[in-house]
Structure 1
Amino acid sequence: MDRTDLALRVDVLGPLALEVRGREVHVPGRRRRAVLAMLALAGREGVSDGLLVDALWPDDPPANVAQALYSHVSRLRHHLGPLAERLERHATGYRLRLEPFELDADAARRLSTHDPAAALGLWRGQALVEFRAVPALEVESVALDELRLRLVDDLLESRLISGDPTVTLDAVAAAAASPLRERTAMLQVRALAAEGRAAEAMEAAQEFRRRLVDRTGLDPTPSLTELEQQVAAGSIVGGPPVAPPRVVRPDGPMVGRQHDREELVRLLGLNTVVTLTGPGGVGKTRLALDIAADATERDVVVVGLAAVDRADRVCEAVVSALGLRTTGEVEPSHVASALADRHLLLMLDNCEHLADVCRELIVAIRRSAPGVRVLATSRVTLRVPGEYVFRLQPLPVPREPAGLTALRRQPGVRAFVEHARRRRPGYELGPEDATDLVEVLRRLDGLPLGIELAARQVAVMPMSAVRERLDRALDLATGQGGPDDDRQRTLRATIDSSYRLVGEDEQALLRAIAPFPGGVDLTTIEALAEGGGDPLDLLHRLVESSLLVADPTHGRYHLLFIVRAYLLDLAAQLGEARRAQTRFVDRCVAIADRIGEGIHGPDEAALDRMLRAELDNLRAARDLADADARVRITTAANRAATWRDLREVWSWATELADDPALTDHAERTTILAAAAEAARLVGDLDTAERRARETIALADPVAHAGALGRAWSVVGVVAHFRGDFAAARDAWLRGAEEPVGDASAFVGSAALAAAYAGDPVTARRLLARAAASATCGSHRAFVAYVEGELRVATRPLESIPHYVNAISAASRVGCNFVEGVARVSLASARSRTGDVAGAAEDFGHLIESWRRTGQTTQLWTTARNAAELLAAAGRARTAGLLLVTADVTPGAAAVDEDIARSGGRSYIPVDALLDPASLDEVRAESRRLGGPDVLDRAVAELRELATGPGGAAPDS
């Protein structure tokens, strides 16, 4: 295994070692080394701050433990050099992003199933021995020791099977090194017996039995007794066994299936029956044949059932594949009896259309032939008692064409390129094709058969044309069918064959689900299945048939793109399309209403998840809806999106307000209020105020109370950002008079304005009122944030716990706005208390976050606070560049010395940082660069502060 070309290497199978772009990097300090080892072994999940602290300081953590931990992380980033961004901060801790094989333990696990010698060669000594005092790493050390011993056994076993005459000496040595390991002892016994040394083999078995009882009080498993009987009977003899007929490895690339392959091999070692299931075209047969081709411990028999069209011919197909002679009708019991003494792997391929008889056959085999293991492929589960179902998923596909190098590593992309090269040798994915390819893969849901079909087309047309013709993919030939099997001649035929296996109620439910591009939840399935049988039974049958994909963790169910395309075509042919669309829009209106009405209550977290999950459906429903339904969906969703990073939903309100056809709509005031919110969220304060004032002028105090309250809130926000805190306070309190779910937030905002206006008594009174009326997680998080703001100017240390509480509460309910502003203030508070590195890291992340979500006002408030940190760190020019750019950016919040004195905003007069000549140069540079480039430069310097030696404490 050659790992020399990897960008990053972390080795733990021996002394801890780090290599960055081919250069060995020394990592000093036992705690810093422990952090590196824990992060490397944790993988994508990362390690929480708490676990890292417990591991590094189990007994006596320092008073400034958070800073001490950050110091170690910061120095590790410095060690990573050009790959520093691989060490990422996440919600509760840190993670080190490693690619496959970059960690030697990961490489060993990946190689263990097919090349144990290469895997074993990665060990340079005892794994993690230097960390035996760290409990979390001691557990990992034990697991890696076990992996090494298993590899030793696997290698010995493969040498025994191949008849290696030198294996006995190594088997004896391995048994001596692991005196209580039964598998190793049995390999020693087998090796001795195979050399004709039966007496020594029996003595070794008896010695192991005595040793195990003496040292542990345990008896060996029955496998040792069985082996002793075989040795005594002389059934273990020397020389290589006769090789069974080999299964031909399937043609075509096996990309992105290594983990699935390893897991299936493991499951086959533990279970008598494994069913590999999944939608048509997902690659079940190819993966199963690839595993069967490498099976070395038993005979392998493959029975293809795709061309078997009658149940009474299944057993005939099996006995034919087994080479058995039969007379008369063959029953499952006959097959099972014939296999009673056999040890083999029986692969039954394409069982879905014969599921009942396949089930009967497998049950009979399990009862009469314990030495037979069954690997079945089927689009439906077989429901065999004891069956282990492994559902093969489509290949992962990229969400966006970000970075050609990273894109080429994606399994779906790699599969496409390899298939394309089979028709167009030398094909390379270029930047001009990236966007089109990502869209093709996304719309094909990573289905391997669809990817292969699309890849064929690049032999005769450009990638853009493949994308344009994707809607015809259902009827293009796949080349998969045979003379007796039409089920895979086209993608349409593949899906149609699965569709016809389910009943009429299931078919009707599938057609009802088809208009939902974002999938459905259980409540929607119950609504759509009304009158068509028990919804849960229908759901189970559709998931088991692989026509509906389940995400049980989140309770969502969706159709693959090509399955959905087939069903939409079918609904049109049956004349059901209009009715299905009407039901779809009606359901989306109900979903939006539920979210908008309940988002400010105790179910906020669940409704936040629902809003994000239903966005694709709501978007599609708006495109199909009439004016009333479009307004209803938009205004309901907008109520929930105000404090969330859902810029698309904000834009829906702007679109309605600008639509001339809706000028006289009955909900015009509600539309204007939502559009006013949208404008202020993106920093267009003039438009926000204009639309808010228009709403106030039009609103009926009774009929439009909600719109009136939100409009007054927008007036308050605009005044607040412009520095008129008295007007902001009064507007928010006016909005709170209306019976709306946001009243607590309006009062809390008024408290913030009062504090910034230098009136702490009023601020305290209003904040207590807001806390008493808070009805949801967002509002309680906002109260905690304002509490921090009331303290930060004079007692920054006391403010930090309140900001942390606000961040935690907001993140639990998806309230990105409160989480973001609390993080800005937390970074500023850290800066004021001397945590330069932590504050710099936070500011850098926040600037990028506000840019992504398009919240201009918060972006430049954060930038001004970051300028204070940069100036204090001696980077006055970049700080000045941020300040002069903020001053001329529309939508940036106003700030002056009085505002900074009473609130958490930073204020540095730019002329106090730079002399007049330098200031003129900076202003000219700001005009030349523009806001985006200025922010890029600031983020780069913040990262230097976060990872450079100036931000780190001494190692220990």
Structure 2
Amino acid sequence: MLGPPLTPRESAVLAAVERRLTNPEIASELFISVRTVESHIASLRRKLGAESRADLVSAARELRDASVRVPANPFRGRGRDVAELEAAVRAGDLLTLVGPGGVGKTRLALEFAKAQDARTPVIVEFEHATPGDVVNRISRVLGLEASPHEDLLASVGIALAAQPYLLVLDNADHVGPATRSMIARLRPLAPGLKVLVTSQTPLGGDDEHVHLVPPLTADGVDAPASALLRDRLSAHGHAPAAQDDPFVDHIATRLDGLPLALELAASAARHLPLAELSARLDRDFAMLDRATPEGRHRSLETAFEWTWHLLDDEERDVLQRLAALPRTFDIDLAVAVSHEGAERIVLRLLDRSLLVPAFGDGGRWRLLAVMREFVLARTDPDVVRDVLRRHAEMVTIVSEGFIARARTDASKEAMGLSVMLCPEVNAALRWSLAERDPVAVRLSALLAVGVEQYGSDADSVEALSLGAHDDWLLERATPSQLLVLGNALAFFDIEVVSRLAERALAAADPADPHELRAAHQLAGLAAAYGSDPAAALPHLDTAERLAIEHDDPWDAAAARQFRGVALRSIAVQEGRRSDVADAVEAFEGAMRAYARAGDETHVNNVRFMMALTAAESGYDSERAARWAAECVAYSESTDNEHELAHGRLVQATLGLDESGELGELLVSFRHLGDLRCVHRVLMLRANRAADPRSRVAALREASAIATAAGDRARQIATVEGLVRAHRDAGDDGAVLAALDTLADLAGRSAAVAACPPGQLGAFLGESART
């Protein structure tokens, strides 16, 4: 503050001087004598160091600007919001910032007010206001003293009309109607006035401009949410080190970038290591509390109670049911899990900022994770079970309609719908497995087709794996359902695919050609990717014959594709270049058949397999590069992330510049849950490592991936690479250990063949003792 503190009367006189009132006008307004006004003005000049009335006006503005107190910590991630506010204030007179509790509406409003050049900010706090107190609070901030016989709002209007003001009314949630009425009466009295309101709900004025304040972005490099959390950790005396970055980013994402939650997490980090805090927040949000400050920002509980008490019973009921949903929802799903007519309640909850958009283009929403937990703590478990049952039923119906056309729809729209649906089906599948609900069998097949056709994600693949290991589900699945499940898991766990094939063969009715074909096709797939690819060929011959006899071009194409995989594996095992040509021929036949069936995605997937076969074997690098480029072009045109990564993998195998970084490919395939391609990238990294130790590190990781995928052939190839890498690193003990592992995997003769000449005696002696 400038100079000594002012008395209430001096503040009122100074406010009147700022409005350019003469001394007689001030005396009349404040019901004091002119001589008393002159005395106060003289006192103000001394206290504020003002030599003239103009200096007093400037001092008044400085004092008012100083009244806009913003926190000292950096203001993060709101550049676009500030720009949009500037445009909105220029275009209209009433702007309301809305958003969930703790999102930072007040901070944004204060920062915006502080930055005003042409307008003097007037900040009025309504958190504890009552409807009858709205005008009084503004008048007190303005330093007005009105007679009981005068209209106080008229005095406020006259004061705010004296110069360009920005009136900021903060936390108007509990006095929304009174605030709306007051603004409607005030604006004719102060025509040039701009009003900025913060509230979780729009006021509802006819010309109100509503600006939604979202949580901070938590995705990507240098995400504002992570930056804010680092700021607050440093302010609490616990600046994170570089090794803490993954925990900081995870916490920021887990808390949905909600600034209040990030502040509470930073406060908790004074007492817990970030790794432990991150793990605890994955379980619940009980750590997000603090002793001070008192009030609604002390914890998330107190912040959300502020809004909870504004809801009526019907709004609470619908909100509880929406919170029980595992993922996101649209209007149809909201109605399905609540009641007819719930659309209007959803819109009211949106107006109250209790729901946030799930995707950028709107039409689908979710609750912030912290808000969801708050609501679920107040929800009857029977309601949650009812919602999850309805969700599973609704998702099954929607997905069956989508999957019915999936094989022939490679549009971007279909890809977008798959991206939205896969997590929903995934969640419904996990619930139905846990509850032993029969819908689990249908859901597993639906999710499997979606994953295989449009690309996978690790979470959905893991859900399918749960189903594939669940005897209860497998006993109820037909060979056709087991086949689609095996198709989706072939790049994740070949051992479980082999077990699925055994079940399908045992369950198939010889009199049912459709199910018999599915069983042989699955057996062929499992063997093609397994350790005995030659065993795949008779199964695939049977599958293709049955598919052709019963006019099923898609499955005939699939049998040819798996034949190409088997022939490629045989060529690798036996070193026969002619089998590579046979594999490419089988793949080309599959491409033609898939094209006749209208499945462009599988045409491209087979093209990738042709390109990779040609690239890895050295069969035809020129055609491999052309095929890979075609894969990339197709994938970019359809937004298919999995097929795009496949094309880049071939380019990386060929050493082409356009392939991008191996690290980026590795991240993509891990996200997709494609363990076979994760292994391929790690092997490329090992082959290109500058020193033996780096090669060993990459090979060890690749060995762990091959083991997790149950891929014996890749395990053997990786351990053979480890023998050579340990030899080059001069680690004789590690060489012998790797040879022992190889002997366990591929037999003693394979280990002897891979043994470095100088260590054969040591290995044979060690083996004999073993």
1:578-610 deviation per Cα after TM superposition (whole angstroms, max 9, x unaligned): 433433443444455455544324264133212
The answer to whether residue 619 in structure 2 is matched with residue 810 in structure 1 is no
The answer to whether residue 300 in structure 2 is matched with residue 491 in structure 1 is yes
Match of 2:79 in 1: 259
The answer to whether residue 52 in structure 2 is matched with residue 241 in structure 1 is no
Question: 3-state SS of the aligned residue for 1:266?
Answer: helix
Question: 3-state SS of the aligned residue for 2:58?
Answer: coil
Asked whether the 8 Å contact 1:716–1:732 carries over to 2, the reply is no
Matched residues in 2 for 1:460 and 1:856: separation? Answer: 39
Matched residues in 1 for 2:547 and 2:610: separation? Answer: 19
Given candidates 587, 591, 595, the residue that maps to 1:771 is 595
- Partner amino acid for 2:451? A
Given candidates 647, 664, 674, the residue that maps to 1:822 is 647
Matched residues in 2 for 1:363 and 1:569: separation? Answer: 40
Question: 3-state SS of the aligned residue for 1:681?
Answer: coil
- Partner amino acid for 2:366? H
Matched residues in 2 for 1:860 and 1:472: separation? Answer: 37
Matched residues in 1 for 2:556 and 2:589: separation? Answer: 15
Match of 1:146 in 2: none
Under a length normalisation based on structure 1, what TM-score does the superposition of the two structures give? 0.57
Asked whether the 8 Å contact 1:709–1:734 carries over to 2, the reply is no
- Return closer, same or farther for 1:729/1:589 CA change in 2, 3 Å cut-off: closer
1:424-464 deviation per Cα after TM superposition (whole angstroms, max 9, x unaligned): xx334468977776665544433333333444445566664
Question: 1:558 deviation in Å?
Answer: 1.0
Question: 3-state SS of the aligned residue for 2:463?
Answer: helix
Given candidates 358, 371, 383, the residue that maps to 1:576 is 383
- Partner amino acid for 1:572? D
- Partner amino acid for 1:241? S
Asked whether the 8 Å contact 1:299–1:345 carries over to 2, the reply is yes
Matched residues in 2 for 1:787 and 1:474: separation? Answer: 53
Matched residues in 2 for 1:332 and 1:874: separation? Answer: 80
Asked whether the 8 Å contact 1:673–1:711 carries over to 2, the reply is no
- Return closer, same or farther for 1:858/1:428 CA change in 2, 3 Å cut-off: closer
The answer to whether residue 161 in structure 2 is matched with residue 340 in structure 1 is yes
Matched residues in 1 for 2:665 and 2:740: separation? Answer: 19
Write out aligned runs for 1:891-910 (5 A).
Answer: none
Match of 2:476 in 1: 666
Match of 1:298 in 2: 119
Matched residues in 1 for 2:487 and 2:297: separation? Answer: 52
Question: 1:307 deviation in Å?
Answer: 1.7
Matched residues in 1 for 2:513 and 2:299: separation? Answer: 56
- Partner amino acid for 1:782? N
Matched residues in 1 for 2:682 and 2:298: separation? Answer: 59
Asked whether the 8 Å contact 1:550–1:557 carries over to 2, the reply is yes
The answer to whether residue 393 in structure 2 is matched with residue 586 in structure 1 is yes
Asked whether the 8 Å contact 1:247–1:289 carries over to 2, the reply is no
Matched residues in 1 for 2:730 and 2:230: separation? Answer: 52
Matched residues in 1 for 2:121 and 2:734: separation? Answer: 76
- Return closer, same or farther for 1:440/1:326 CA change in 2, 3 Å cut-off: farther
Q: Percent identity?
A: 21
The answer to whether residue 416 in structure 2 is matched with residue 606 in structure 1 is yes
Match of 1:276 in 2: 97
Matched residues in 2 for 1:453 and 1:762: separation? Answer: 60
Matched residues in 2 for 1:554 and 1:847: separation? Answer: 29
- Partner amino acid for 2:595? A
- Return closer, same or farther for 1:388/1:745 CA change in 2, 3 Å cut-off: farther
Question: 1:822 deviation in Å?
Answer: 3.2
Match of 2:506 in 1: 697
Matched residues in 2 for 1:513 and 1:845: separation? Answer: 36
Question: 1:862 deviation in Å?
Answer: 5.8
- Return closer, same or farther for 1:838/1:523 CA change in 2, 3 Å cut-off: same
- Partner amino acid for 1:803? A
Asked whether the 8 Å contact 1:732–1:747 carries over to 2, the reply is no
Write out aligned runs for 1:722-737 (5 A).
Answer: 724=534, 726-727=537-538, 730=541, 733=544, 736=547
- Partner amino acid for 1:548? L
- Return closer, same or farther for 1:743/1:553 CA change in 2, 3 Å cut-off: farther
The answer to whether residue 137 in structure 2 is matched with residue 317 in structure 1 is yes
Given candidates 563, 579, 590, the residue that maps to 2:371 is 563
5+ residue gaps, structure 1, are 1-235, 896-905, 932-956
Given candidates 221, 226, 232, the residue that maps to 1:410 is 226
Match of 1:155 in 2: none
Question: 1:611 deviation in Å?
Answer: 3.4
Question: 3-state SS of the aligned residue for 2:417?
Answer: helix
Matched residues in 1 for 2:677 and 2:544: separation? Answer: 22
Match of 1:935 in 2: none
- Return closer, same or farther for 1:762/1:612 CA change in 2, 3 Å cut-off: closer
Question: 1:381 deviation in Å?
Answer: 1.8
- Return closer, same or farther for 1:457/1:378 CA change in 2, 3 Å cut-off: same
- Partner amino acid for 1:515? A
Match of 2:443 in 1: 633
Question: 3-state SS of the aligned residue for 1:379?
Answer: coil
Matched residues in 2 for 1:322 and 1:238: separation? Answer: 19
Matched residues in 1 for 2:257 and 2:678: separation? Answer: 37
Asked whether the 8 Å contact 2:160–2:193 carries over to 1, the reply is yes
Write out aligned runs for 1:115-264 (5 A).
Answer: 241-244=58-61, 245=63, 246-251=66-71, 253-257=73-77, 259=79, 262-263=82-83
Matched residues in 2 for 1:929 and 1:816: separation? Answer: 38
Matched residues in 1 for 2:435 and 2:537: separation? Answer: 43
1:637-686 deviation per Cα after TM superposition (whole angstroms, max 9, x unaligned): 123223633344333344334345556x332656754664466323535x
- Return closer, same or farther for 1:790/1:768 CA change in 2, 3 Å cut-off: farther
Write out aligned runs for 1:6-25 (5 A).
Answer: none
Which of the pair is proportionally richer in helix?
A: 2
Asked whether the 8 Å contact 1:678–1:688 carries over to 2, the reply is no
Match of 1:782 in 2: 605
Matched residues in 2 for 1:701 and 1:330: separation? Answer: 93
Asked whether the 8 Å contact 1:598–1:604 carries over to 2, the reply is no
1:128-166 deviation per Cα after TM superposition (whole angstroms, max 9, x unaligned): xxxxxxxxxxxxxxxxxxxxxxxxxxxxxxxxxxxxxxx
Question: 1:379 deviation in Å?
Answer: 0.7
Question: 3-state SS of the aligned residue for 1:600?
Answer: helix
The answer to whether residue 360 in structure 2 is matched with residue 544 in structure 1 is no
1:372-395 deviation per Cα after TM superposition (whole angstroms, max 9, x unaligned): 221111111223344333322234
Given candidates 492, 501, 510, the residue that maps to 2:310 is 501
Asked whether the 8 Å contact 1:713–1:735 carries over to 2, the reply is no
5+ residue gaps, structure 2, are 1-52, 569-578, 742-770
Question: 3-state SS of the aligned residue for 1:347?
Answer: strand
- Return closer, same or farther for 1:348/1:796 CA change in 2, 3 Å cut-off: same
Asked whether the 8 Å contact 1:720–1:728 carries over to 2, the reply is no
Matched residues in 1 for 2:194 and 2:564: separation? Answer: 70
- Return closer, same or farther for 1:321/1:679 CA change in 2, 3 Å cut-off: closer
- Return closer, same or farther for 1:731/1:302 CA change in 2, 3 Å cut-off: farther
1:33-54 deviation per Cα after TM superposition (whole angstroms, max 9, x unaligned): xxxxxxxxxxxxxxxxxxxxxx
Matched residues in 1 for 2:712 and 2:646: separation? Answer: 13
Asked whether the 8 Å contact 1:657–1:671 carries over to 2, the reply is no
Question: 1:345 deviation in Å?
Answer: 1.1
Asked whether the 8 Å contact 2:70–2:107 carries over to 1, the reply is yes
Match of 2:238 in 1: 427
RMSD: 5.2
Write out aligned runs for 1:449-528 (5 A).
Answer: 449-459=260-270, 464=276, 468=280, 471=284, 473=286, 479=292, 491-528=300-337
Question: 1:549 deviation in Å?
Answer: 0.7
Asked whether the 8 Å contact 1:345–1:373 carries over to 2, the reply is yes
Question: 1:346 deviation in Å?
Answer: 0.5
Matched residues in 2 for 1:704 and 1:651: separation? Answer: 31
Matched residues in 2 for 1:851 and 1:698: separation? Answer: 34
Question: 3-state SS of the aligned residue for 1:275?
Answer: strand
1:54-79 deviation per Cα after TM superposition (whole angstroms, max 9, x unaligned): xxxxxxxxxxxxxxxxxxxxxxxxxx
Matched residues in 1 for 2:528 and 2:318: separation? Answer: 52
1:225-279 deviation per Cα after TM superposition (whole angstroms, max 9, x unaligned): xxxxxxxxxxx99999344123141456355255267436634663433322211
Asked whether the 8 Å contact 1:444–1:562 carries over to 2, the reply is yes
Matched residues in 2 for 1:714 and 1:859: separation? Answer: 24
